[in-house]
Amino acid sequence: MQSSKPREAYLNSLIERAVGGDRAALGKLLTVLERPSRDSGIVLRTLVKKSGRAHVVGVTGIPGSGKSTLISKLISVYRSWGLRVGVLAVDPTSPLSRGALMADRLRMQRHATDPNVFIRSIASKGFRGGLSLAALAMIEALDAAGYDKIIVETVGVGQAEVDIMHAAHTIVVVTMPGAGDDIQALKAGVMEIGDIYVVNKSDKPEADQLLEFINFALETGEIGSGEKWRPLVVKTSAIMGTGVEELAKVIEKHLEHLVRTGRFEEKVESRRLMLARLFALRIVEEKVEKIIEAHKREVSRILGESDDPYTVLEALIEKGLREL
């Protein structure tokens, strides 16, 4: 899409309305941010001037551990504290199917009509430019729109999801008893660098065992964020609602720690750096794809016929970039 003046005016009005509390405008704004384009660049330019205040909480953990249920209960606690909550739910859709079926919302749908809660589902694929770019850009939008807490749900494996979690201020790793308390399970992706560990489904008998196991792993340093923060462990039952308030308080503790140590702003900065980097990478990627498309024949022969494929490819791309 061409970025013309009327288009820019439209985007600006969208931002203005979204920031002013128009939820339909915010919904549309998030759609614009789903893929990198001139539009999304223009939007981000304005958004980052208004964002940077929100506390981004990443909630991750194995499928079925109760993340969505827990987030729904966490929303209730935050609402009782008078905070506004935005949620981005990344649905672990099978990469094999064309479409996606997103059902995290189902567990949080009771908050749908609360004007101070905004929930958006993200299919884990189908985004040009990648899932992480879309999610990171959406965080800026929810932040600018005045949501105090932005909760991001992912299963935390795969590069994109790890990137997303790195963009969070606080990483909450959700585990449950009976899922095989193997240390390897906690070493997948971002789970080993949690700031807070949750033993959910504590209504089940084996919960205490898991709690001990995690405490032990933390002591031996097998898991943990490696920062000046000793990860805390909280027992919850999302179904019964027990322990959720405590979890919310522990999350606040971590926030205080971040603010005190200056890490809060640092994280906002590194989040934006990552966003810009992903943006740039996408631009390059698109261009490279165009060049390769234009020289398909040549490229397909390089590996087999060239003495130094790396240098030849490099030269081809550089030449292509100059010509573009």
Partner 1 sequence: MSNYKVLVSKLGLDGHDRGAKVVARALKDAGFDVIYTGIRQTPEQVVEAAIQEDVDVIGVSILSGAHIHHVSRLMKLLRERGLNVPVVVGGTIPIPDVPRLKQMGVREVFLPGSSLKEIINVVRRLAEEKRRAEQQA
Partner 2 sequence: MVKLFNNESIEKIREALKKWEKETLPLSLQRFPERMERFTTLSNIEVKRIYTPADLADHDYFEKLGLPGEYPFTRGIHATMYRGRLWTMRMFSGYGGPEETNKRLKFLIKHGETGLSLAFDYPTLVGIDSDDPMASGEVGICGVAVDTLKDMEIIFDGINLGEVTTNMTINPPAPVLLSMYVAVAEKQGVPYDRVGGTTQNDPLKEFIAQKSYVFPPEPAVKIAMDVVEWSVKNLPKWNPISISGYHIREAGSDAVQELAFTLADGIAYVRHLVERGMDVDEFAPRLSFFFDSHINFFEEIAKFRAARRMWAKIMKEWFGAKKPRSWWLRFHTQTAGVSLTAQQPWNNIVRTTIEALAAVLGGTQSLHTNALDEPFRVPSELAAKIALRTQQIIAYETGVADTVDPLAGSYYVEWLTDEIEERAWRYIERIERMGGMIEAVKKGYPQREITETSYRFQREVEEGKRFIVGVNIFVDEVEDEIRNVPLLEIDQEEIEARQKERLRKIRESRNKAKVERALAELRRAAERGENIMPYVLTAVKAYATLGEIMGTLKEVYGEWVEPPLI
Ligand X SMILES: Nc1nc2c(ncn2[C@@H]2O[C@H](COP(=O)(O)OP(=O)(O)OP(=O)(O)O)[C@@H](O)[C@H]2O)c(=O)[nH]1
Binding site for partner 1 (CB under 8 A): 23-24, 26-28, 30-31, 34-35, 97-103, 105-106, 109, 112-113, 118-121, 123, 126-128
Kindly indicate which of the ranges 65-73, 136-144, 215-223, 298-306 contains the residues binding ligand X, using the contact rule CB under 6 A: 65-73
Residue 26: which of 90, 126, 119, 163 has the closest Cα? 119
C-alpha closest to that of 254 among 142, 170, 146: 170
- Cα separation, 22 vs 221, whole angstroms: 46
Name which of 18 and 122 has its Cβ closer to ligand X: 122
For position 112 contacting partner 2 by CB under 8 A, the verdict is no
Strand partners, 173: 60, 197
Which span sits near partner 2 by CB under 8 A: 103-111, 133-141, 251-259, 287-295? 103-111
Report, in Å, the least distance between residue 268 CB and partner 1.
24
Q: Which is nearer to ligand X, 51 or 170 (CB)?
A: 170
Which residue number, 113 or 184, has a Cβ lying nearer to partner 1?
A: 113
Q: Choose the contact partner of 241 out of Mg ion, partner 2, ligand X, none; CB within 5 to 8 A by kind.
A: partner 2
Kind and range of the H or E run holding 176: none
Interface with Mg ion by CB under 5 A: which range of 102-110, 187-195, 209-217, 259-267?
102-110
Cross-strand pairs, 118: 86
CA distances for 151 relative to 29, 148, 234, 249, 256, angstroms: 18, 10, 18, 15, 17
* Distance between CA atoms of residues 63 and 58, nearest Å: 15
Which residues of this protein are in contact with Mg ion, per CB under 5 A? Answer: 67-68, 104
